[in-house]
Each structure stands twice: as C-alpha cells, then as structure tokens.
Chains A and B, each alone.
Chain A
C-alpha cells in the first residue's frame, strides 16, 4: 500500500499541475490576507472599524482562517488527480499494474489527504509570514498557542485535506475533467455560498462541507445578515468526516465496477 501511495504522489509531482495550483492557492490566500491586514482597524462610513485592528486577538483569529478560503483549489487538484487518469487513459496502465482497483482508490485518497495537508500547511506558513509581523509591528500581543488559534490552524489543514478528498470522489463519479471542475466551482461559489450566507437557508447551509468547515475554524464573520448559524465545531468535524467517507465510498464503488474500454 505504501508503494501505491508513493506511486500516486509520484504521478502528481512529475507533472506541472501541482505547483501551478500551489502558487494560485497561495496568491488567493495572500490577497485575502492583504485585504484583511490593509483594512484592519480602518474606520468605515459609520465611524466604527469594519475589521478588527491589527493589535487585537480578533484580527489574529480571522487572519489565520485565510487559508481555508482557498479550498476550491485543492478540490480542483483532487478532481484532476482522478480525472486526468481517464482523460489520458493512464487508468488502463494503472489498473494493469494494480488490478485490485479498490487499492488504487485507497492509495489515491491517502495521497490526496497528504497533499491536502501539505497545501494547508503551506497556506498556514504564508499566513504566519504575514500575520506575525503585522501583529508585532502594531504592538499587539502575539497569540499562537492560545486564544483558539491552534484549533483554527488545525481546521484550515483539515479543510484542505478533506476538500482534496471531495475532489477525488467527485472526479471518480463524473470522470469528465471539465464537467467535474465546473461542477465544483458552481458548488463552492454559487450553491454553498448562497446556502451559508442567506440566513433563511443556513439551516441547510451549515451541513454543507463549507458550512461545516466554517464551524471548525469558527469564522464569526458578519456577512451583513448577522452572525452565521453554524454547527458546534465537534459536529462540524463529524459532518466533514462523513462527507469524506461518503466521497471515498463513491470513488470506490464507481471505480471498481466500471469497464475500462
């Protein structure tokens, strides 16, 4: 099994996609951080600051969540890990080397989990590089091991890992690369955004992957509609794990039975 996971990682790291995705993800995270730091403590039209000042714990909390916003990129990475095998018909060679297909799916999911963690950690490193200096320059007290920060960090990494799994599962189900990527974008940017932002829909929205992930990183973001209705973080974590298992199951069932023609 270790050999199969290594082979899957080799597949990813011998093509260019992974570092393009990494750069895009870091850019996206960087832009969010830039806004957060740039507008921190700046007074809005009503005179009160719209974002907490750089010397506050609230600022640090929201800044550390920046990496979670880029989950779409690891999801696309997961989709491509799976669908490129079908697109380029390398799935044939893969199954010839490992005819027990369940093992291939398991190896892909494990490799995806590792890559997701790697991307999550990369996002955290970028965040650290931006947040720590800004807090220190502003004269605030740096919180890294308390104030709920470790849980947020863990949440960012877990979200990243699980979204990679979602991508792999979706890719196994849909197989068509373009359709799967478009589906993921529509889901994340339209359906999930609406379900988690509109209060009337939050009853459903908190059970979506992004809703559950938000409960994990405890983003108490005011979207203009008041505080979001979220699950407790333990329930959010359970929902995410349930999604991951569901997608793993979908990936296995659809892959193991299909004829490869």
Chain B
C-alpha cells in the first residue's frame, strides 16, 4: 500500500529552487532512505509533506490526502524534524502531555512513549538538561504518541552515539517490518542508514537523481578485485593480457577492473605469485552516492 506519495513537487525560496519537480512514493512496511547532501532539499520536501511549507506546485499526500486534511494527524503520521524543538523549561513528560491534549490522545500515552524510547527515568526533568541524544529520543517519543502508520524522520541519527544509532536502527526496522509502518528517513550520510533501509531516494540540488532498492544502487557500480602481493608488478601485465584494466594504488596492491575474481585467481596460480589478500571489493556505496550527488 502506498503510504506517502509525492508527485511533481516544487518549491522555491526566492531564486533558490529548493525542490524541483520531485516525485517518489513510500510503501507501507518498508523503510525508505531519503538521501542527499546538506541543502539538497530533503527538509523542504518533508516540510511540504507535513503541511508546514506550502509547495509552489505538485502534491504531497499521506494515505491519499494532504496532511492538512487529516482528521487526527498524529494518529496517522509521526514526524521527527529538529532535535531542538522543545521548550527548555518544560519537562519531558509535560512536553508530551501538552501534545496529547492538543491531539485528543489520552495523557497516559506520554509515559508509555517515554518508556518506549528509554527516557522513563528522565520524565520529570526539564529538557534544558537533556543531551542531544536524549532530545532525539524525546522527539521520537513525540512522533510515536499516536501510534502512527507513517513515520517521517529528518536526520534522526544526528547527535546519537553509536549505541543510540544501533538502537534507532532496530526501532525503525521493527516498526516497519513487524508493525507494517511506512518509514521515510532522511540523512546526508548514506552509511548511517545503509543497514536500515529497504529503498533509497537520492536528491541533489533539489532534483531526484535515483530511486530504487539499495541492491539496484550497488548493482550499478563496478566491483574491482583487490590483490595484495609483494610481487604485484609481475602480475599486472598478465592480467592486462586477459583484458583487465589494472591500477596500482600503492606498491604491492593492485585493483583489477573488468574481470572476475576467478580470472585473477587463475593468473595468480599460473604465475606462482605469493598473494596475501585477494578480495572482490564491496561496492562503495558512499562513492556511488558522492558520484550521483556531485556538483556538475
């Protein structure tokens, strides 16, 4: 089921085309990564989707309706936008209770949500004393108050320590894969979401540059074979004779493009070269990401 649908969305701030004819959709039960460098238009897209910013043209729908037309928005969509959007003098519990009241949710949800994000012990503390990681958890607690079927997160990993990021991954995956929630999560660091997302949407300078599964993204790349051998120089001409393109990034290391690991292994055997490492390089997602989003 399509939970989020963005069609030909455009928004300019003065002369800057922040979002330029962007279209993509997010299915229930999946985690979609919305990726792009800083300033690519990720936040603007999400804010248009949430009715905070009015798009110049195009549509952004949640469950087939614009956000502003939702009867009980927090019960349908949860959003984490900035880690700083709390009144510093208000306690975590009061922050959530204020929202529960406005959204018509039972106030008991406040403590349940705090429990869920691991902030139960800090419920009565003023937010001013919270670390960035605690604020992110509180923001996530805010987003899940109404048990929404759609979750939208803008750079949620900012400020989380490695353990927090690991926790966040598990949290998002279980929401999507076990409870069928549609999760859209933005990030400017691909490696941060790489292990969490099912699909990726990549945006650069306001325009969509890629949409598809993570596997499709890596499939596009060439995967060279890396060989570590003291006598690498002897191996290179042999491989080139077999049609490979060989580069030598440093003495004793070859990167072999255009042929499989088996061909390289055969060459090693034929030449009787001592090899200390022979590996098919994992396609470097970060590199593909950089390539896709590079200034042209």
Contacts and interface: CB of A to CB of B under 8 A. Distances in A.
A90 B87 contact: yes
A96 B82 CA distance: 13
Contact of B97 (A3, A10, A99, A259): A10
Given A3-B101, A10-B101, A88-B84, A100 B50 contact: no
Contacts of B103: 97-98
B73 A260 contact: no
B52 A89 contact: no
B132 interface: no
B22 to A, nearest CB: 17
Interface residues of A, number: 27
B99 A93 contact: yes
Contacts of B89: 15-17
Contact of A97 (B68, B74, B81, B94): B74
A15 B52 contact: no
Nearest to A87: B87
A32 interface: no
Contact of A96 (B50, B94, B104): B50
A261 B85 CA distance: 12
Interface in A194-230: none
A151 interface: no
B108 to A, nearest CB: 15
A26 interface: no
Nearest to A88: B87
Q: Which of B52, B67, B77 has the most CB of A within 10 A?
A: B52
A90 B87 CA distance: 7
Given A3-B101, A96-B73, A96-B74, A10 B94 contact: yes
A171 B3 CA distance: 37
Interface of B: 13, 43-44, 47, 50-54, 67-68, 70, 73-74, 77, 79, 81-82, 84-91, 94, 97-99, 101-104, 142
